[in-house]
Every structure is written in C-alpha cells, then in structure tokens.
Structure 1
Amino acid sequence: MPLKCLNDRNIIYAFNYDDDAWEALRATNKSTKSLRTACCGAEVTLKTSHLGTKYFAHARKGPCVTAPMTAEHLLAQAHIIEGTQAAGWLPEPEANPPISEITPNGREWQADVLATNGRAKIAFEVQWSKQTPNETLHRQERYRASGVRGLWFFRHLNIETSKELPAFQIYFNEDTRIFKVQLDPLHYMDDELKHTPPIPLQAFVQGCLTGKLIYAPAIGLTFPMEIFTKNKQCKRCLKMTNIVTRLKIRISDKLPGCPNLETDIYRAGIQPYVLEWLPAATLRELKIGKLKVRKSFMQVERQASYFSNGCFHCDGIQPEYYEERSLEVEHLVSKVEIEFTEALAKLFSARFVNYWWFNRA
C-alpha cells in the first residue's frame, strides 16, 4: 500500500490528490497505464482503504517482495505526513537513502516517512505489528549511521524509550479514525498527573518538528519547592518542635504533565542541598531545629550517626524511626525557589528525570 508511485519517472504522491483529482488520475492511468510502482516498476492501480486513505497498489500479483501494509499503518503514515507538512518540513513516504548515504555496512533502510528540513532528517517509523527490541535497536543503528534521527510509534511498545531511541505507544480509535500518542505512563505516578491525556498523532509529529518534544526537560530550570513539617513532642525535653518531613519539587508548575519529585532529608547525597535550601534563618522562622549529623540514642537505629532533625529548643535528635511512625498531621509551611541541576537530578530515579516531555502550550 505505498503512498507514492512513478509517473514517467517522476514521483507522485497519493496524499496530494483530492477526491476529484484522484478519480481523474485513475481514469488517465486506466487508458495510459503510465503509473508504475516505485518498488519494482510494476503497473499500478489506484485504491482507497476502508479507512479512507488513498494509495497505489500493484495492478496484479508478481514477484515483488515488498511487504503489504495494514490500513491502520497506511493511515498513520498519512497523519505523520500531514503533521510534517504543518511543521514546514518536507515529507517523503517509503523513503530510501541515496547511494551516498547507505550505511557503512552496506545495509539500506526504508523509512515510513522521512521528514527533511535542510540537512536535518528525522525518520518516523510506525510499528503496527510486533517487533523484537533487538530488531528495533538494529534498525535505529542503521539510521544513526546515516546521520538520520529515528522516532518510533509502536502499537505494542516493548522497548524502553531513551534520548538515543525515542519510542512511544500509539492507539487508534476506529470510530473517529484518530491515532493518539501516549507518553510513558510510568512517569506519571503523581496523583495530579496520572490522567495526562494522549496527544493526536498529527499534532505530536508537528510538535516534534517544531521543538515541542524535549528530553530531560527539567534540568537547568528553577522550580518552587514545598516544605512540609510536623509538630511533635521532643523525647528529650518534652517540648513541641517542628521537624522537616518532606520536600516536594513542583516540576509540573512550569512543565505541565511532568512528574513532581519528592524527597526527605535522608536521601543519599541530598544533605548539602537541604542545607542550601533551608538556611539557619529559614529554620528559625519556621521554628525548626538545626539540621545536622547527630548520634542516635536508639538501639533500633544501632546508635548510628546520621543527618537528622533536631529539637528547636534543646537540639536533641528527632529520630527517623519515630518520624516514620508518627501520627501527627503534616503541614505545608513554606516554598522556596531552587535550581534543578544535572547533579541534583542524579539523586533521583532516572525514569522520573530522563524522559521525553511534550510541550502542549
């Protein structure tokens, strides 16, 4: 089901014809038989899929080994082409590399849609049938060796997306005949974000080509960070003191759809940042004791020394053991602006930092 064919050695595209022009081309070809397939040079017949996509097909069966496409695959290609054109890029369906760009090992590739803008080239691939992760990686390497970025849309997503291999799941609604792209749902663990809607395929492709698809978008930006505390009784002096229980970096405030990040003061490597975010003046204002390394008096904590909350009045350690089991109500007491640096990002799970974000604005 190709979207292009040859007319006297000139390439023509099915998506450039409206219904009247398509019927006129069909009538002309019926009498002249001038149209030929780009894959093997066989005679062409003009067809329309049951989903409404115009395409060129072999007029009769022959030795050509080009694999057939499903109607869904063909329609997805058409939507990608529309998104590419809307972005001002040049789309080429069923695109092969020029001889000069064949990969060093001699293996050619064929992109469902190759989008070109000057020297920039992005191959969009629709994988409607199942494909092994190894085959995906192998095909992506062919693109890379030719200086082409590959971007994948999977019906059955079975490979982890990365900066080097952007891969997304697509869904098709037969009633509306619309494809939608779902960003990785593993990122949306925050209750505020788990209902993030998918994006229409055409709009997604247009956004990809106009700078709306960004990898690890939070790094280098500043965000508000919420400080949560509990008011509890010190075991040492029996007075009430505030302790820091949670810090929430509100990534989604500036990057809608991105997961917010949470930490306590015990996360490995976070302590220098906590001291920077919560200087002595802020702690005094919030009636929070000093944050520093103290020796625990509890056998259950093996009397270890660790970075801890302290009593505002007597500086006694407020053990993490009790903090985890306390029933006091947590309160949001303040916000500060912080910079989300690359070094800070490494302290969090990579999947909540290194992901593709689509700017819907």
Structure 2
Amino acid sequence: MSPKEWDDLKQSDLKKSLTLPCCNERAVAKTSSLGTQFFAHYRNSEDCISKPESKEHLRLKAIVSSAAESAGWTVTTEYIGHSENGDKWIADVYCTKGKTKIALEIQLSSQTSKELNARHRSYVESGVRDAWFMKDSVYVNSGHSSIKSFPRFQVKHFMDDKATPQMSNYPLTVAQFVDTLLNGGLVWKEDTDEHVLYYMKSKCWKCKTDLNIPIGLGDTACSNFDNFIKTVPNCSNFYESLLAQVGNSDLERFGLTTIGAHPIKGNAPNFPYCVKCTSCQAPQTNAYTLRNYHQWSTNVGRDYHHIVLSNYSHNGRYELTALSKVK
C-alpha cells in the first residue's frame, strides 16, 4: 500500500475486522520510526507463537519481501508451516515459484547455534530451502556461511533510516542481493585440501565437563606448516579463522568445542573469539585455554590428538555469478 492508502486503512471501519494469522487476534496497522508499514497485535495472546520484532527487523523483512516479489516469486510474510514431525515454524518471508519453496529469514537477535540448527532442520524436513540474513555478531557466532546447504549472509546499514541496507561481503544492496539469490546468481565455490585439526583434552572451568578443544591446524604433507595457539590475542585470531574454515556445525560433529565471540575478562581487548563448553555453553577464556594448553603439551609432547579433514572445503563460500541480473 502507498502511505496514503495505509493511513486511510488506519482510519477506516475495516481496521476493526483485520486479524492476524498467527493467533486470529485483532490486528492493528502501524508505521515504525523507520517508515515500515506493519501489523501488530491489538492485545497480547498467550497462545500466540509469534514474537515481537524490532523496527530494524520489520524494515529488512519489508525490503526482502518486496525484492522477492519483484523477482517474480509469490511471497507471504509470517507464513506458518509444519514439518513432517509436526513442528510449527513461521517464515519471515516465504517464497514460492512452481514447486520450489524458499524461506528467507531475518536474524538480528542473538541465537545459539543449537537453536539455529533446529530451525534449519524444520525447514529441511518440510522440503523448504532457507537462507539467512544476519547482523555481523549473529553471523559470526552462527559459524559463518561455510555450509552449502545452510547459507547465511551478513547485512549492514540497516539501523539508519537515511541509509540503504547493504550486504557486508557483496557489492550489493539487500534488495539487489535478494534478486540475485532468487534468480540463480550465486554459486557455491570450494577449494578442497587435506588438513589436520589438532585438539587437546581439557575440562570446563565452570561445570567440569570433559572438553576437546582445538589448538592447531596443520598440513598432512608437512608438519613444518603446523600452526598452534601461541598468545591470548593469537588464540582469538586462530579461533576466528577456524570458525570461518570449519564452522561450528562440523566442530560439533567432530565432538569438539564450538567457537563464539565473547569480549570477557581473560580475552585480550578486541580479540573476543574463544571456545565454549559443550555442556553449559560457558566461554572458556583464552587465558585459561592457553594456560591449560601449555600444561597439557608439556605432558604429552608432540603426540597431539588430531582429526584428518580429508578433501575438506577450507575456503567454501558463495560467489556472485550473474551481476547482470541485478536491477
């Protein structure tokens, strides 16, 4: 609707008959401070599974849905679906064309990798492809976009109503990127190689759970290229790089600790990346990890535990292939 049509709706008698699909409660037409036109609950419903959304989330959802519709897809926002297991899910922007179904998700609030993976699995079980638009910190803690079947992308400049939301790693606006994504303008590229991922046995400082903590990467062809954690800042750099190369989903699959950005005491300023306990999710500070590594390596010498990553994609990424399609 145009702004005038929207204002007319707010003043008309029709507004009293509008209901929300999530819970059938009465809907209220509103306009956010960023200029987004949206519906809100007239009153809270205890049975509603929908959650409140920030003005930035609403703005990005409006941009994404409009771009998807312009790209020729049938679009429904806040679409409710069910997986084969009966789990209910709500897609921010649900796009269909023929038999193809895609959910485009806006994720600006923090969420654990376990929660994200569960939501992703619900889409997989429902025969729906999903792609995620995340702010930087959420993107980093989700394990980056190093999984072909679980694409995640960074967005920026969405807080300012005077700025056009952009993609962080692509020279495109969010609207242009959605058009490119839905029109086949992205392709997965990967470089394969064989690496050794070294890890040590440790315990969580908080709950005392046994942990397998990554401590280094190497090349199976020559140990001269082995790279181990050295200093507190270097720990953060190592874990940030490992997160980009391997990702938290595979670290969990290997039985290793996952990685996140936690600017806490025990991590050097501006070097927040560290491992997390697999049980209680408590961050293991890099000072604590490095001290344990020095003690542990003294006892075991160079006979480190390791995993061989055969033909592992250490530079997996989505690349643009059809900029000519961008409007």
The TM-score, its normalising length taken from structure 1, stands at 0.52
Quick one: which of 103, 108, 115 aligns to 1:135? 115
Equivalent runs, 1:1-361 vs 2, <5 Å:
17-29=1-13, 33-63=16-46, 65=48, 66-97=50-81, 102-155=82-135, 156-157=138-139, 158=141, 159-161=143-145, 162-173=147-158, 174-183=160-169, 198-216=171-189, 350-352=313-315, 354-359=316-321, 360-361=323-324
* CA shift in 2, pair 1:26/1:163, >3 Å: same
Aligned-partner SS, 2:89: coil
The alignment's C-alpha RMSD in Å is 2.7
How many residue pairs match? The answer is: 204
Residues 26-55 of structure 1: CA deviation (Å, up to 9, x unaligned)? 12236x611112222222221100000001
Distance 2:312 2:46 in 1: 52
Distance 2:66 2:21 in 1: 21
The offset of 1:139, in angstroms, is 0.8
* CA shift in 2, pair 1:212/1:143, >3 Å: same
* CA shift in 2, pair 1:48/1:137, >3 Å: same
Distance 2:162 2:101 in 1: 31
The offset of 1:81, in angstroms, is 0.8
Instruction: Tell me the amino acid that sits aligned with residue 211 of structure 1.
Output: G
Q: Kindly, what percent of the aligned residue pairs are identical?
A: 32
The offset of 1:106, in angstroms, is 1.3
Aligned-partner SS, 2:19: strand
Superposition misfits of 4+ residues, deviation over 4 angstroms: 266-269, 346-349
Q: Greater Rg, structure 1 or structure 2?
A: 1
Aligned-partner SS, 1:176: coil
The offset of 1:64, in angstroms, is 5.1
Of 198-207 and 48-57, more deviation after overlay is shown by 198-207
* CA shift in 2, pair 1:84/1:150, >3 Å: same
Aligned-partner SS, 1:80: helix
CA contact 1:179–1:201 (8 Å) conserved in 2 = yes
Distance 1:24 1:171 in 2: 33
CA contact 1:216–1:356 (8 Å) conserved in 2 = yes
Distance 1:104 1:58 in 2: 29
The offset of 1:210, in angstroms, is 0.5
The offset of 1:104, in angstroms, is 2.3
* CA shift in 2, pair 1:357/1:178, >3 Å: same
Residues 95-120 of structure 1: CA deviation (Å, up to 9, x unaligned)? 112xxxx3222111111001111110
The offset of 1:214, in angstroms, is 0.8
Instruction: Tell me the amino acid that sits aligned with residue 60 of structure 2.
Output: A
Distance 1:347 1:123 in 2: 32
- The unaligned stretches of length 5 or more in structure 2 are 193-218, 223-308
* CA shift in 2, pair 1:64/1:24, >3 Å: farther
Distance 2:80 2:168 in 1: 28
CA contact 1:89–1:116 (8 Å) conserved in 2 = yes
* CA shift in 2, pair 1:83/1:217, >3 Å: farther
The offset of 1:74, in angstroms, is 0.5
Distance 2:104 2:150 in 1: 12
The offset of 1:63, in angstroms, is 3.3
The TM-score, its normalising length taken from structure 2, stands at 0.57
Instruction: Tell me the amino acid that sits aligned with residue 320 of structure 2.
Output: F
Distance 1:48 1:171 in 2: 22
